[in-house]
Amino acid sequence: MKCPLLHLMFSKIFDFYFVFLLFCDNIFFMNKYDINSLNEEQKQALYSTDGVVLVTAGAGSGKTRLLTHRICYLLMEKHVSPYNILAITFTNKATNEMKERVREMCNLNVWISTFHSMCVRILRQEIDFLDGYDKNFTIISETDRDRIIKEICKELELEDDDISKIEHHIDNIKNSGAEIEEYFMELMRYGNENTLKKYMSAVYKYEENLRKNNSLDFDDLLNKTLFLFQNYPEVLNRYANRFQYVLVDEFQDTNLVQYKLIKMLVSVHKNLFVVGDEDQCIYSWRGANFHNIFNLKKDFDNVQVFKLERNYRSSKNILNLANNVISNNKERMEKKLWTEKEDGLPPVVYSAFDDRDEALFIANEIEKLCDEGYSYSDFAVLMRLNALSRPIEEGLLSYNIPYRVFGGQKFFERAEIKILLAYISIFVNPKDEISLLKVINFPKRGIGDVAIANLKSEAEDGILEYLLSERFKYSKYYKKLENFVETYRKLREELNVLSLYDFAKKLIKDFHIDIEYAGKDEESINRMRNIDSFLSSIKEFEAENKNATFSDYLAGVMLRSDQDEIDEDGYVSVSTIHAVKGLEFRVVFVIGLEEGIFPLSRAMNSLGEMEEERRLMYVAITRAEEKIYLTHATKRYMYGKSNYETDSRFLKELGIVDKKLPKAETKKSKDFLVEEKEEEQFNSGLKVGDVVFHNRFGEGEVLDISSDGMVGKIDFSGSIKELMLNMAKLEKLEEKDE
């Protein structure tokens, strides 16, 4: 028999214990959630929870801290449910950082994602409303997109020059959210009607191709979601009612479609908090429109505006450069970054003779600073164009400095990885013929272009569906594809039984992909290493995501950006400026500061484009915390030829007057410059054959010295290095015997 009194006593003890644990838990997280850590401007923005709030936040002004504290303020002070909050960022890196901070501060999970990830999540639930699509849709890569458009142009007998024009029209249509026919009808008022009709036909064929394959491109993720919101009120109401509070980071980078999505998501509760900085809008080429900041006041009533100008990242000297250059822009809100930090180190302007001189100077400076206690991950070499990276890479290699280039070939774009992704995709989305055609003849099965064309004709509908049918057994291609089909059948049965990792591992084995890449040559070894890394990425994904599916994994892969690849792993980051937005480094080199390169030549006759170039310069400078180098060259080798360059106008706008201007600025003839450079040879006191000692590379022999005496080629026990003789700390040991 139960004792009611005893039961009641234990019940009270348990309740007390539970409340005590909850109290302790709150105390723990409250220590991390500290409103007093915010400055007064941030606090004012934080407390304004109702209505539309615009925060103009300069670079390094603590906007992530503000956003995360605002989320926790809503949760812990205003008692808003996590279910009713949505935060949108622009990169996976920013998303993960914000999620982690919120969990640390208040131990709660909130929907925080990029625009594209948000739309993927919505479409997985709602895309059945759209004809021809289901929840297993795949996201195509830029490469696949280009290939589809090329095939369509070939089919319509269009010229190669038309490909880029059609791509441009597709981008315009999707970034604006326009209807295809309306878009082209407007253009036909001013352009060639026959040509534009062909382009319109190509765009329609492109869309039909995606629909047939149950596939979406990146822009579709946004557009299809917007279409659902506009045409299916029940879908919109589901999300607009749910999200009482919407927060948007990097608001200046929103395009028209993203802006429309935001407006619709806040249409019920009308609580919107956006953080942006028009001075950091550098993506207009992909539809970003910083005028959305100004449009807020037009589209919403009683918009509250707060300004964050205090910078927590950079020294005063660096901020002075940033303020100086951006003040030359006209389309911006007036603000001036300031800091309580010290003046810091003065900026260094280096006038290189050529791009090799520039590269070796950078490598030498990195080496010197590492000797002083810096780490390789503290450095970033930033450029306007990827084409400038080759000499930089060679310079870093000559000093044995580890580096990674961002903006080049990404891991998931490597051939062997794309094959694996395509194989997985045909299991997730059997309608995905784009992926099927990548793997149908890999490993080689004797299925060429003619066979594929015939299979398409035989299939009538989907090729994979046809391959799995009884009808296919009568095809002349049955024997060639019999093993492929049977392997697919068997593996399909295990798709939802095995873990993602085990399935991928079995797929590689059963389709003999491992045998195809087997070999002892360096290329084969590297490919197998990449496959191992691929499997590791799946295992990590599973560990980090409960109930993970391959659909989720594939979407995550397709939505990765350059920033997601950058981490603190002991290497120098060599990158375009676009790829490092939102990141920071102790030391930054901004290279190639010459007219036509930075700013680009195409910006010379456009006020809008020149202002964007200036914003890029501003972003580059504000990545630096402690030290910044600005380099330019008198002569640069690009696109197969050497050119003499003129200093970038930004050097003057920065407020820096380089006392030692390149001689190209002071001589009447550039030919005369070369002659004088040769006459004014630097004398290191070294000659070919000398034995020298370097504190990092050890003992070496001088093999060659450049005509200007600046660069020495030295053999350090079989490792050939090119060093700047005026900077490298070389100790002459002896002369080689004649």
Catalytic residue among 249, 278, 367, 416: 249
Task: Assess whether 63 carries a catalytic annotation.
Answer: yes
* Catalytic status, residue 131: no
Paired strand residues for 576: 383
**In degrees rounded to 5, what are phi and psi of residue 401?**
-95, 120
CB 489 within 8 A of CB 430: no
Q: Supply the DSSP string of 290-318, one letter for each residue.
A: THHHHHHHHHSSS-EEEEE-B-SSS-HHH
Omega before residue 391 within 30° of 0, cis: no
Concerning whether 506 is annotated as a catalytic residue, the answer is: no
Q: Tokens at residue 515, please?
A: 């045998």
Which token pair is 238?
């589901």
Cα–Cα dist 305/319, whole Å? 23
The active-site residue out of 70, 332, 615, 623 is 623
Residues 6+ apart with CB under 8 A from 415: none
Q: How many helices (H) and strands (E) does the chain have?
A: 29, 20
Distance CA 452, CA 611 (A): 50
342 SS3 class: coil
Active site residue 280: yes
146 belongs to the catalytic site: no
Tokens for 645?
A: 């360059």
> Partners of 536 in the beta sheet?
none
Give 113's contacts (C-beta < 8 A, 6+ positions apart).
87, 88, 89, 95, 121
Establish whether 250 is a catalytic residue: yes
* Cα dihedral: 615, 618, 619, 624 (round 10): 170
Measure the CA–CA gap between 553 and 227, rounded to whole angstroms: 25
Instruction: Give the span between the Cα atoms of 240 and 498, in whole angstroms.
Output: 38
CA-based nearest residue to 393, from 358, 347, 368 = 358
Closest CA to 559 of 307, 122, 218: 218
Measured distance between the N- and C-terminal CA atoms of the chain, rounded to whole angstroms: 109
- Say which of 43, 44, 49, 64 is annotated catalytic: 64
Q: Say which of 250, 416, 625, 647 is annotated catalytic.
A: 250
Alpha carbons 144 and 217: distance in angstroms, whole number: 9
Give dist(CA 484, CA 618) in Å, integer. Answer: 54
Bond prior to 443 in cis (omega within 30° of 0): yes
Active site residues: 63-64, 249-250, 280, 623
